[in-house]
């Protein structure tokens, strides 16, 4: 998979050389290229933003630099991802879907976002996904790009040494992951659940599934019963 990232803060993507994505790169599974949007500006001040039509606070990113950049960086057949608070939620299912793509291009906005005509223009000939990584507001798309790349890279065939671990992770089966334990068997007076020391693999599997179900019902009723999605007020009761 090739991933191109366009940003006015390309150094923000430096962590891509470390840890998970770095390992994927070393194995030739992931080829990441980061670009500075200002390289596609034409004025001496390298301007990328302007005031919003219709008024309002903040600035909006101009379409022209994005058009020049994406005309060069987004080839036919590539998927354009635009992180935004108003996007579709990034889920494990979406990450799995994106991991099947050959080429992702991530447009990292700043200010109050990118002129909507950019996503609309490229949507005519490309798959364009405006994606949210959570119900909170960041200052730009770079952190979201790092999250997207890590969530997708770890699903690439051959990336994770133990592919089986991917199937037992949180959200893979619509359930949260069961609690994990390792040595010592007793730590500060707290014992590892005895079933995990029993060697009874059927009992261990049943206990783990039960823990996942209980944890999901307690912490993520929206996953347990999508119709029971918790309101903001309801979430306060869980803290």
Q: In whole angstroms, give the CA distance from residue 35 to residue 85.
A: 22
- State the nearest-atom distance from the C-beta of 115 to ligand JEW, in Å: 11
Identify the residue among 4, 13, 70, 84 touching ligand JEW (CB under 6 A). Answer: 84
Beta bridge partners of residue 83, listed in sequence order: 131
Stretch near ligand JEW under the rule CB under 6 A, chosen from 82-90, 157-165, 181-189, 204-212: 82-90
Nearer to ligand JEW, 65 or 141 (CB): 141
Identify the residue among 71, 72, 102, 112 touching ligand JEW (CB under 6 A). Answer: 112
Identify the residue among 133, 151, 155, 176 touching ligand JEW (CB under 6 A). Answer: 133
Inter-axis angle of helices 142-153 and 19-26, nearest 10:
50
Stretch near ligand JEW under the rule CB under 6 A, chosen from 27-35, 79-87, 163-171, 194-202: 79-87
Note whether 144 binds ligand JEW by CB under 6 A. yes
Beta bridge partners of residue 88, listed in sequence order: 131
CA 12 vs CA 60, 69, 198: distances in Å: 20, 18, 47
Nearer to ligand JEW, 57 or 239 (CB): 57
Q: In whole angstroms, give the CA distance from residue 145 to residue 96.
A: 16
Binding residues with ligand JEW: total (CB under 6 A)? 18
Nearer to ligand JEW, 24 or 133 (CB): 133
Closest residue to ligand JEW using C-beta atoms: 113
Stretch near ligand JEW under the rule CB under 6 A, chosen from 34-42, 108-116, 166-174, 191-199: 108-116
Cβ burial, residue 170 (10 Å; 0-12/13-18/19+): middle
Nearer to ligand JEW, 116 or 194 (CB): 116
- For the chain, the 3-state helix, strand and coil shares in percent, each to the nearest 5, are 40, 20, 40
SS3 letters for 144-203? HHHHHHHHHHCCCCCCCCCHHHHHCCCCCCCCCCCCCCCCCCEECCEECCHHHHCCCHHH
Note whether 136 binds ligand JEW by CB under 6 A. yes
Note whether 13 binds ligand JEW by CB under 6 A. no
Cβ burial, residue 113 (10 Å; 0-12/13-18/19+): buried
Question: Which residues here bind ligand JEW, judged by CB under 6 A?
Answer: 83-85, 109-113, 132-134, 136-141, 144
């Amino acid at each position: 998979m090739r991933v191109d990232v366009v940003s006015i803060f390309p150094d923000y993507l430096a962590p891509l050389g470390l840890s998970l994505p770095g390992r994927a790169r070393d194995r030739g599974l992931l080829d990441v290229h980061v670009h500075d949007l200002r390289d596609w500006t034409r004025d001496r001040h390298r301007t990328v933003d302007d005031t919003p039509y219709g008024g309002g606070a903040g600035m909006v990113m101009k379409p022209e630099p994005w058009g020049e950049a994406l005309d060069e960086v987004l080839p036919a057949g590539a998927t354009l991802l635009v992180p935004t608070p108003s996007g579709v939620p990034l889920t494990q299912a979406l990450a799995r879907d994106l991991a099947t793509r050959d080429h992702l291009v991530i447009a990292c906005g700043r200010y109050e976002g990118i002129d909507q005509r950019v996503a609309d223009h490229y949507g005519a000939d490309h798959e364009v996904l405006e994606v949210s990584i959570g119900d909170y507001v960041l200052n730009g798309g770079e952190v979201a790009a790092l999250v997207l790349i890590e969530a997708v890279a770890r699903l690439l065939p051959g990336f994770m040494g133990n592919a089986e671990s991917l199937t037992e992770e949180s959200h893979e089966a619509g359930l949260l992951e069961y609690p994990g334990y390792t040595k010592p068997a007793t730590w500060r007076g707290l014992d590892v659940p005895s079933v995990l020391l029993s060697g009874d693999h059927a009992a261990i599997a049943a206990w783990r599934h039960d823990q996942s179900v209980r944890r999901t019902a307690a912490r993520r009723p929206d996953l347990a019963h999508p119709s029971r999605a918790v309101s903001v007020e309801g979430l306060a009761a869980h803290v």
